[in-house]
Chain A
Amino acid sequence: KQEVTQIPAALSVPEGENLVLNCSFTDSAIYNLQWFRQDPGKGLTSLLLIQSSQREQTSGRLNASLDKSSGRSTLYIAASQPGDSATYLCAVSRDYKLSFGAGTTVTVRA
């Protein structure tokens, strides 16, 4: 069974600092990895999807890397803003079922 772990569970940084969120998974036979953002009381918003053949994806201030062989992904958020405060979830899939980590709750202090 796929196990997805996210470290740290919570993170608090001052505005402007870069964020580094880690995700590891036990079964490297995945097709893709997605990073999501979840705001309190809201659903999930997809941030980035990395196909298994890709090494990274970028969108604005967000960059996600994938090392399938070692079972790791890292989400970088540059120049953090208070609006980046949320819970970030990574999810992997080898078919249509997503296996999620428990998330990293980020607080960006103004």
Chain B
Amino acid sequence: GAGVSQSPSNKVTEKGKDVELRCDPISGHTALYWYRQSLGQGLEFLIYFQGNSAPDKSGLPSDRFSAERTGGSVSTLTIQRTQQEDSAVYLCASSLLGGQVDTQYFGPGTRLTVL
């Protein structure tokens, strides 16, 4: 079946612009995660959605970052007033049930470059 998909695959933007990154999870997966992979920080957790529960936003680095998940499926990560330190690969993952014992399946990522 289809895996996790993300769009765009690459995004180049100017400092100060807003960007939106999209994630389509595996059909039927109730949990969705966003991670960021940058050269200096490695791979770090950003946000977690599980069903209709309030999302865990504890990993978002600043209030310029926000995310939503519509209809329990597609998710959008929005970065406002982008800064050069936001340049990274943004990875989305989904899992069937969420929680601590579930395998997370990752998408190919969106490479964001802020000039």
Contacts and interface: CB of A to CB of B under 8 A. Distances in A.
Interface residues of B, number: 28
A96 B108 contact: no
A95 B31 CA distance: 13
Interface in B31-75: 31, 33, 35, 42-45, 48, 50, 56, 59
Interface residues of A, number: 25
A46 B4 CA distance: 13
Contacts of A46: 103-106
A31 B101 contact: yes
A49 B42 contact: no
B43 A89 contact: yes
Q: Which of A31, A46, A96 has the most CB of B within 10 A?
A: A96
Interface in B85-115: 91, 93, 95, 98-109
A81 B44 CA distance: 30
B85 to A, nearest CB: 18
Interface string A56-100: 000000000000000000000000000000000101011111111
Contacts of A28: none
Interface of B: 4, 6, 31, 33, 35, 42-45, 48, 50, 56, 59, 91, 93, 95, 98-109
21 contacts: A31-B100, A32-B101, A34-B103, A41-B108, A42-B108, A43-B6, A43-B109, A45-B106, A46-B105, A49-B103, A95-B100, A96-B102, A97-B45, A98-B33, A98-B45, A98-B104, A99-B45, A100-B43, A100-B44, A102-B42, A103-B42
